[in-house]
Amino acid sequence: MGKARVTKGQAVVGSLAAAGAVQAGSVGFTCASVALRLARIPVSCATTGERTYAFTFPVGAVIQRVYLDVNTQESTASAKTIDIGLLSSETSGDADGFLDGVSTASAGIVQGSTAISAAARTLGVIMLDGSTASSDLSRKDHIVRGANAVTLSSTVSELQTELVADIVVQYLCVG
């Protein structure tokens, strides 16, 4: 089954109305003064190191979930992982803050793990609540504040030429 991409249009579902001025590849719904936004950003692994996308979060955004939707897995590269976060050169940026070393070796939707073991944990630290040294680790939302990082980024240590994937972000715009 194919995937639909909303690029322009209007939708009304019950008491929810499509939010205006969403970025390309995004769809949003507004209820009172809170807008739920879902963004799908195509991944590029044509270069190594940290890469930015033409996608930024508004100040005040509440980032709830970040996933990697792998459509075609990487099979050639020896390092079949990717980090997703906020641009490290921006204030409080963390290049692996959302997803840390998630696998690109299998097709499907990949989400971060809250495993206590650092080697098994793939949810980035800005999405974690609790002590990483104890068993009380849980997922939390990240709030974009003031002049802090707003630019989405991904990082690979090796080219991944077969990879076809999208970063999927669920976030709220409040106010």
Domain that holds residue 120: 40-167
Number of domains in the chain: 1
pLDDT in tens, 46-77: 889 999 998 999 999 999 999 999 999 999 88
The rounded distance, in Å, linking the Cα atoms of 63 and 169 is 7
The rounded distance, in Å, linking the Cα atoms of 147 and 80 is 33
Listed as ranges, residues in the chain with pLDDT below 50 are 1-22, 24
164: amino acid identity, one letter? V
Whether 66 maps to a domain, the answer reads: yes
40: amino acid identity, one letter? R
The rounded distance, in Å, linking the Cα atoms of 152 and 70 is 18
pTM for the model: 0.80
Whether 16 maps to a domain, the answer reads: no
Whether 15 maps to a domain, the answer reads: no
Whether 20 maps to a domain, the answer reads: no
